[in-house]
Amino acid sequence: MPNLESHIAWRYLFSKKGHNAINIVSGISAAAVAVVTAAMICVLSVMNGFGTVVEHMFSEFDPVLLVVPAEGATLRTDTAPIVSLYAREDIEAISMQLEQTALIRYKDHQTPARVMGVDSLFSQTAHIDSIIFDGFYSVWDGAFDRVTMGRGLAAQIGMNAHFTGALHLYAPKRTGRFNSLRPDLSLNHEHAFIAGTFAVNQVEYDDQVLLVSLPLAQRLFEYDEHTASALRIQPKSTLKIEDLKLKISNILGPGYKVLNRYEQQASFFNILRIEKLLTILLLVFILLIASFNIIGSLSMLIIDKREDIRILSHLGADEATIRRVFLLEGWFISSLGAMIGLITGVLLCLGQQHFGWLKLGSGAEYVISAYPVQVQVLDIVLVAAIVLALGFAAALYPSRKIQLS
């Protein structure tokens, strides 16, 4: 009997109806579902593309794994658990990082900045050379302290990579009493010369971060050589990051947190997930409205096929069987629209990915020239499930209204 029901429903889908308007409404219903389905695939793929682009930007600066203290602002690097990390064969490099806020001044310009002291292994945990905007990367040239800063921060302070004047850094002393008569004596002072500027194309880096040598940061903030705010870890292989993260967490214990790149930028990726969820909900609402066409076309078909319903009843078909016929008919309409929409959406995304039809613009202010897209199988499955579920729900209402008596 189930094969008979699907066979009759399939015949109804393509056979000529008594009224041409039913064919038109059914076609419009399938087309509406197809358009919304394709739109869902395209929108989600573009959001995936932008997420991948921004993730790549962060990965140029952020380490693969970052060890930070669970409480407080600093950690000791001479403790036994941390020392044991340096002997691990699956870790290529461990770089110390000391970061705090300080005031920087160049001539008449001054602004607060995130001063990040890094050691000589920093370049092994970040692709710093690939994001240099002007000049070159250096925090120590063998004779003088150097700084490499975000290009937005350089603009705020009125510097560029070719200036020869000294940049002054000020931070409150952690020890001793505040001198109210000479407040300047309550500040630690260091100076360095600019080497270059970098561009991650993210405000929290380009407009705030100033890279200096680790010894300079330790002098400025009054910490010894075994104090850091974080450890940047570069594994020898990036294939099993989560396994390595778990091993390091077990070695260090609850006093430390080991963060992967997603967790280092948790707020950004949480916002991205929320935006994607809201987008899905909005498109589902539009799809729900489009599904009302299925209710209309199926209701008209039931009226048109009253004689067929009576014949099926006389042949022994019960009410539940006839209802399933029209339920499958409505579901076939939404399935046809879903299939066309999925194929169209994927083809459009692949075309945009390879040919870049829709342009963002050109010039230095644009990171990419065309809208990025990334089709994910999970999105296709999710969209198909949503469309088919709503199509089934839309077909359920009119089919349940069928009564033989």
Place of tokens 């380009």: 206
Q: How large is the average pLDDT for residues 290-308?
A: 84
Out of 113-127, 172-186, 295-309, 353-367, give the one with best mean pLDDT: 113-127
The reported pTM is: 0.83
Closest CA to 260 of 49, 127, 68: 68
DSSP3 helix / strand / coil % (the chain, rounded to 5): 55, 20, 25
Whether residue 364 is predicted with pLDDT greater than 60 in this model: the reply is: no
Pairing outcome for strands 209-213 and 109-118: parallel
CA distance 153 to 288: 48
Whether residue 20 is predicted with pLDDT greater than 70 in this model: the reply is: no
Give every CB contact of residue 158 below 8 A, 6+ residues apart in sequence: 106, 107, 108, 109
Q: Which tokens is 69 given?
A: 């203290």
Pairing outcome for strands 256-260 and 109-118: unpaired
The separation between CA 282 and the C-alpha centre of its own chain, rounded to angstroms, equals 19
Judged by DSSP in three states, 178 sits in: coil
Rg (CA), the chain: 32
pLDDT band at 374 (very low <50, low <70, confident <90, very high): very high
Whether residue 108 is predicted with pLDDT greater than 60 in this model: the reply is: yes
Q: How large is the average pLDDT for residues 77-88?
A: 95
* 107, HSE (Cβ side, Cα atoms, 13 Å): 8
> Does 83 or 301 have the greater pLDDT score?
83
DSSP designation for 359: B
Place of tokens 């060890």: 67
pLDDT single digits (tens) 258-295: 999 999 999 999 999 999 999 999 999 999 988 888 88
Place of tokens 């065309």: 370
pLDDT band at 86 (very low <50, low <70, confident <90, very high): very high
pLDDT of residue 17: 57
Instruction: Specify the DSSP element, H or E, that contains 331.
Output: helix 319-355
The strand pairing partners of 68, in sequence order, are 257
CA distance 41 to 337: 13
Sign of CA dihedral 32, 38, 43, 48: positive
Amino acid at 349: C
- Cβ proximity of 206 and 199 under 8 Å: yes
Q: What is the mean pLDDT of the chain?
A: 90
Least confidently predicted of 134-138, 243-247, 282-286, 302-306: 302-306
Amino acid at 402: I
> Does 23 or 155 have the greater pLDDT score?
155
pLDDT of residue 278: 94
Whether residue 158 is predicted with pLDDT greater than 60 in this model: the reply is: yes
pLDDT band at 128 (very low <50, low <70, confident <90, very high): very high
* Residues written for the chain: 405
- Cβ proximity of 118 and 95 under 8 Å: yes
pLDDT of residue 303: 84
Q: How large is the average pLDDT for residues 190-210?
A: 96
pLDDT single digits (tens) 42-61: 999 999 999 999 889 999 99
